Structure 1
Amino acid sequence: MPELIAGRNSVLETLRSGRSVNKVYVAQGSREGSIREIIALVKERGIPLQESDRSVLDKLTAERHQGVVAEAAPYEYVEVEDIIKKARDRGEDPLVLILAELEDPHNFGAILRTAEAVGVHGVIIPKRRGVQLNATVAKVSSGAAEYVPVARVPNLVNAVEKLKELGLWISGADMEGDSSLWAANLTGPLALMIGGEGRGIPRLLKEKCDFRTYIPMKGVISSLNASAAASVLLFEVLRQRSKMGE
């Protein structure tokens, strides 16, 4: 089934990424700001453009569409090996994010946005018992979903074993971890694992981690949500890698 992408930033990045788009709907009278760029790209790529009343766009999607909706081809998932190849082709140590049973699409979208900003080479999610790529994820990611490859695997434990065979270290985010992320070495080929909301990383996956790190906190709240934790961890990886490159 086609995927409906709503919102100016999301539609614009979908078009820029080269993803196959079947049709773009624009609200009648919308020509200001980024809408002009969207229309120009639509015409340049020969994509059918339909001007419709805003009520039509309201019926197409429950998302806040800002006067534009794109009907795009379904998201294409990649293989784990494709993610590692992307890093190797760039001459970089692989940085992979593993999302273990994450369920909130808003968290997923926010994580993808941070992952793109930090330079994550790809994200791995399970085929079942976890959120998938969808329109809500794309909207929250502000277009990052178009640029961060996502592999969907039947078994995360097997995927972790494959990453280890490919030379990656596995680090799990865990409030009862071995060391704080400030003390951990997060350079080199690395896969960061983030657990699901409220449950954390499942036991079998936790046992597969080479080491586990926690985020030091001074407040009363004992944990961050998945997207906030991922942001803290990923920017610490970026800091350490940037320091190594100095």
Structure 2
Amino acid sequence: MKICKEEKIIVYGLHPLIEAIKAKITISNIFLKSGIKLTSNAYKKLLFLSKKENIPIKTVPESKFFILKNKNHQGVFALLSPIRTYQIKDLLPVFYERGKNPILIILDRITDVRNFGSIIRTSACAGVNAIIIPKKETAMIGSDSIKTSSGALFKVPICQEKSIKNTINFLTKNGLKIVSATEKSNIYWYNIDFSSPTVLILGNEEKGVSPQYLEISDERVKIPLIGGISSLNVSVACGIILYEIFRQRESNLYI
């Protein structure tokens, strides 16, 4: 198990903090903006969980939120220890031992933190077992990705790998189907059988999936575009494909 290099992470916003507490992340203090009204259910839930886990809440002046200027902090933040990351070679045997039919995502040079966070959030909702990212050319695992994922970053294991190509080869040898999303394919995403263990590769916002990864993929799929726009947002494409996987697997339960 590896630790990312960021010394401390500021987590801001109600739902990310609630998810951090539920995930048993170490939090020394929660800082609450002076004068804020604690009337919503989310505030009440945060107060309940912090009391349950013996996390002190300190009321501080608005000046303490200067570092979060122009961010939707909702009057609350905390400092967390670095987010834990993993290697897929350690997690995959655990998934199989637990009887999982793994769904994994590889993010090939996704650099926009909003896309990164949205993909994590959708992955958590759709039952993805792990997300794999490279050590370089990727969005940072930090405050903004936690916020944009609405705290889902605490629910889905993130694996940082030195070589994505070697990782793909490892996953292929261990029985997973490699599916790349690319407009260069002639096959629509819903024509692929996703019933077996699957890896979905999503590419860079501008360049797409790297040619070297497309070459070693078992399948290449596309989503049709008829409105004159050249491509979908990568997080939207992720959701479309993941819920086709979900639909196929849920349908198989009743056959």
In which range does the TM-score fall when normalised by the shorter chain?
A: over 0.9
What are the ranges of 5 or more consecutive residues in structure 1 without an aligned counterpart? none
2:5 counterpart of 1:22: no
* Residue identity matched to 1:45: E
**Equivalent position SS for 1:179:** coil
TM-score by length of 1: 0.95
After TM superposition, the structure 1 = structure 2 runs for residues 177-192 of structure 1, keeping only pairs within 5 Å, are 177-192=185-200
RMSD: 1.5
Instruction: Report if aligned partners of 1:95, 1:190 keep a CA contact under 8 Å in 2.
Output: yes
**Equivalent position SS for 1:98:** strand
- Equivalent residue for 2:66? 58
Instruction: Give, in whole Å, the separation in 2 of the partners of 1:179 and 1:186.
Output: 14
Q: After alignment, is 41-50 or 106-115 more displaced?
A: 41-50
1:94-137 CA-to-partner distances (Å, cap 9, x unmatched) read 10000000000000000011100100000000000111311111
2:39 counterpart of 1:32: yes
2:66 counterpart of 1:88: no
Q: After alignment, is 53-62 or 176-185 more displaced?
A: 53-62
- Equivalent residue for 1:234? 242
2:86 counterpart of 1:78: yes
**Equivalent position SS for 1:216:** coil
- Equivalent residue for 1:147? 155
Instruction: Give, in whole Å, the separation in 2 of the partners of 1:59 and 1:102.
Output: 25
* Residue identity matched to 1:13: E
- Equivalent residue for 1:222? 230
* Residue identity matched to 2:136: R
- Equivalent residue for 1:124? 132
2:14 counterpart of 1:8: yes
> How many residue pairs were aligned?
246
What are the ranges of 5 or more consecutive residues in structure 2 without an aligned counterpart? 1-6
User: Sequence identity of aligned pairs in percent?
Assistant: 28
TM-score by length of 2: 0.91
* Aligned-residue offset at 1:3: 0.6
- Equivalent residue for 2:216? 208
1:176-211 CA-to-partner distances (Å, cap 9, x unmatched) read 114111211122110000001010011111112111
**Equivalent position SS for 2:59:** strand
1:141-160 CA-to-partner distances (Å, cap 9, x unmatched) read 11111101000011100111
Instruction: Give, in whole Å, the separation in 2 of the partners of 1:61 and 1:72.
Output: 19
**Equivalent position SS for 2:191:** coil
